[in-house]
Chains A and B, each alone.
Chain A
Amino acid sequence: MSHANVAVESHAAGVMEERPFAIPSSKLVMWLFIISDAVTFGAILFAYGYVRNASADWPTPFEAPSIWNALLMTFILVTSSLTVLLSLRAAQTDDRRGAFNWMLVTAAGGTLFAILHLREWMSLIREGVRLFQNPWGAPLFGATFFSITGLHMAHVLAGVIALVVVALSYRAGRHTAKHIEIVSLYWHFVDVVWMFVVPLLYLMNMKH
């Protein structure tokens, strides 16, 4: 965070009203952003449900390998949520080296997630799934799958960049545990969205 917000963060004690939620403004803003983004994902998932309901021949192509891959991705993402908490804990106990390393582990987890996801995409594309075409049925399948997972992956990539940037500034001493906490909130949110994407996009569309 730049020096522009410094005064706000210090919130000169005694000359201003107490903050109603007793958290820094930047954390409040991250929470507000998260509910706003949750509604964005919610709206796009509702749109998916709407067109899925309205289609007679919605394909259910996912077989066991895809599902296991999705479970592996869940494992990686939830574990990276754990490592970012380890980083936060290290930062709060002034273990600067540990905090920095755990941040990098988290970013690596995010990258691995994105790679596995791209592998999944590529295998679908090899099977003939395009944005508006697939060998099995309603062409909107590809559109919903790629747009929702694409939006999620964009969030993951943005998160990886944010993690690396905050980690480097933390090591340089410009950022503190508070910033790690804020970026970790975002990272957990990406995780939470994935918890809805897996059952709705993968499990509901598995072959049975």
Chain B
Amino acid sequence: MSDAAAAVQHHGPPQGFLRKYVFSLDHKVIGKQYYGLALVAVFTGMFLSWLMRFHLVWPNAAIPGLQWLSRVGAPGGVMTPEYYLSLLTMHGTLMVFFVLTNAPFAAFGNYFLPIQIGAEDMAFPRFNMMSFWTTFAAFLALMTAFFIPDGPPISGWTAYAPLSAVGPDAGPGLGWGQNCWAISIALFCVASLLGSLNFIATTLDLRAKGMTLMRMPICTWAWFITSCIALLAFAVLLPACLLLILDRIAGTSFFIPAGLVVSDRLQPHAGGSPLLWQHLFWFFGHPEVYIAILPAMGIVSHILINSMRKPLLSHKVVIGSMLSIGFLSYMVWGHHMFLSGMNPFSALVFSFPTLIITIPATVLTLIWLGSLYGSNLQITTASLFSLGFISMFVSGGVSGFFLAQPSIDIYLHATYFVVGHFHLVMGVAAIFGIFAGTYFWFPKMTGRMMNETLGKIHFWFTFVGAYCIFMPFHYLGLAGNVRRYSSFVDDFMAPLMPVHKFITIAALFTGAVQLVFLFNLIYSRFKGAPAPDNPWNATSLEWTIPSPPPWDNFGGKHPVVYHDPYQYGVEGASADFIMQTSPEKLPEKS
């Protein structure tokens, strides 16, 4: 192959439906595919949470049609306690892997990372396509669990051994349901590996002339750091899943201790340790939290700067904080295991970096808030969701201080306090980041504007609704309400039922509001006002090209970058904002 002959194009314009929309090599199509997959997963996951919330407050009421989903799990439409756990597992797995990892990182990253650095495509388009289709196969493998007679596994998204490892004896869904789960997650690890390799190579090697590392937008940095984390975090989950599959299918016993009696049967396993699974899982699991939240932080910073019309207080400190979050994310996994029977000394060791990691997170928050102070913020749906992200991140993050301390965690562990904490700080916050990104980039992705009025309605109801759902979780947890129970009808938890009723109503309502978003998305795609190239007067490279971009992004041209990414409100400049590609000389700062 001759290097000189191939100056400009990776691949010609795609021909035919399959190459164009299905097995496309175009990073933009792949980004949209990831987004579509995340959309399917998020609505499925949300629907599951509806079913669970409904069951919690009306445990004996039949849900019409549920018996069709599973005859064993929901006879006559009333779900069994086990089926509640099955739905819980699927809700968690779908949301963590297929929504929080896929949407802000793989979907937006795929679409905008190459454009923001001035590249025509990812470094390895074929890897990119394989990465998506492997993720899709993982999704199918997971969804297959719904169609197995005894339903999806009941072991939760963390698949704690020995429950997940001993097989069908331990309960419904732990036969082939759990196998589907393990296979799905192993596939997901491979897909993530391919994706993160591609992201790192693209960011480092395909930057346009003048796009130095420090001139990359903050969200490009966030995707880059995230892919560095994902590269090695998923590498630990993969062997863990392989060993779990061996335990389940080949009769080994990495995660199962000796003398375990399950369902009155002595298990033919000996010598393993359930703690080993927790160590391997959380070694991946905690970095995973930051894989979900860092891209959202990047997206939100990117949008807020645009809405404030001025850069953040410090570009370098933001990037440094994200880097140190990435570094520290590997040192804290044990804080998930304070009550697992882990060595109490380790608990102390893990608690310290867990508290340290709040420092870069706080620095980021202070930089956002400090930059907002005195700025002339333009209220768009995207900037509202960005503010909402900061609000959720702070509210959820503060409860992390409590959970980080082993002594307090003894009381709070496995209560609704934890559920409230991680739903706010990682779930809702990252979802708000996804919403912000969607409202901000939709014009670029489709060439049409989203409806701002519907968007603002969507924001306010979602914002208030999310607090109505997840704030009371903290109070429930403090009152001793345990998580993963399928009903609270007796004992000390019965007086908490009114709170649960309130939460369920809020959840049903907030979920319904998301249909406004879905409607807005579909309606604007076809009937929205046509979008100009740069509707937000933004400076980064994605706004220098047509909306939607042509298949080779820059039309065969090579952009040249002259400025830092966020030149807003520069004194003495010809305009309020200076594009990164504008050759205009900036006046010297005096």
Using a CB–CB distance below 8 Å, which chain A residues touch chain B? Answer: 1-12, 14-17, 19-21, 25-26, 28-29, 32-33, 35-37, 39-41, 43-44, 47, 50-51, 54-55, 131-132, 138-140, 142-143, 147, 151, 174-176
Rank and list the top 9 A-B pairs by shortest CB-CB distance, nearest first.
Answer: A6-B6, A143-B252, A15-B558, A17-B207, A39-B235, A44-B239, A10-B3, A36-B235, A140-B271
| Residue among B3, B126, B196, B231 making CB contact with A2, cutoff 8 Å | B126
What is the CA–CA distance of A138 and B258 in the complex, to the nearest angstrom? 11
**CB < 8 Å neighbour of B239 from A11, A21, A47, A51:** A47
B273 touches A51 (CB 8 A): yes
Query: CB < 8 Å: which of A5, A20, A25, A43 contacts B283?
Result: A43
Which residues of A are found within 8 Å of B558, using beta-carbon distances?
12, 15-16
- List 6 additional contacts besides A29-B197, A50-B279; criterion CB under 8 Å: A19-B204, A28-B201, A29-B123, A39-B236, A44-B242, A54-B271
Q: Does the CB pair B271–A174 fall under 8 Å? A: no
Q: Which residues of B contact A (CB under 8 A)?
A: 1, 3-11, 25, 118, 120, 123-127, 193, 196-198, 200-201, 204-213, 231-232, 234-236, 238-240, 242-243, 246, 250-254, 269-273, 276, 279-280, 283, 558, 560
How many angstroms from the CA of A162 to the CA of B206 in the assembled complex?
27
In the bound complex, do residue B208 and residue A17 qualify as a contact, i.e. CB atoms below 8 Å apart? Answer: yes
Q: Are A25 and B273 in contact (CB under 8 A)?
A: no
Given contacts A25-B123, A147-B243, A8 and B10 within 8 Å (CB-CB): yes
Is B231 touching A35 in the complex (CB atoms < 8 A)? yes
8 Å CB contact of B123 from A5, A44, A132, A151:
A5
Which interface residue of B120, B232, B558 has the most chain A CB atoms within 10 A? B232
- Chain A's closest residue to B10 (CB) is A7
User: In the complex, how many angstroms separate the beta carbon of A4 from the nearest chain B beta carbon?
Assistant: 5
Closest Cβ of chain A to B79, distance in Å, is 36
Which residues from chain A contact B206 at a C-beta distance below 8 Å?
Answer: 8, 16, 25
A16 to B483, CA, bound (A): 53
CA distance A97 to B232 in the complex (A): 39
A32 to B194, CA, bound (A): 10
The answer for the CA separation of A142 and B252 in the assembled complex, in Å, is 9
Query: Is the beta-carbon distance between B238 and A40 smaller than 8 angstroms?
Result: yes
In the complex, are the beta carbons of A131 and B252 less than 8 A apart? Answer: yes
- Most A-side CB within 10 Å, residue of B118, B198, B239, B243: B239
Inter-chain contacts of A10 with B (CB < 8 A): 3-4, 6-7
With contact pairs A29-B124, A139-B270 given, residues A7 and B7 touching in the complex (Cβ less than 8 Å): yes
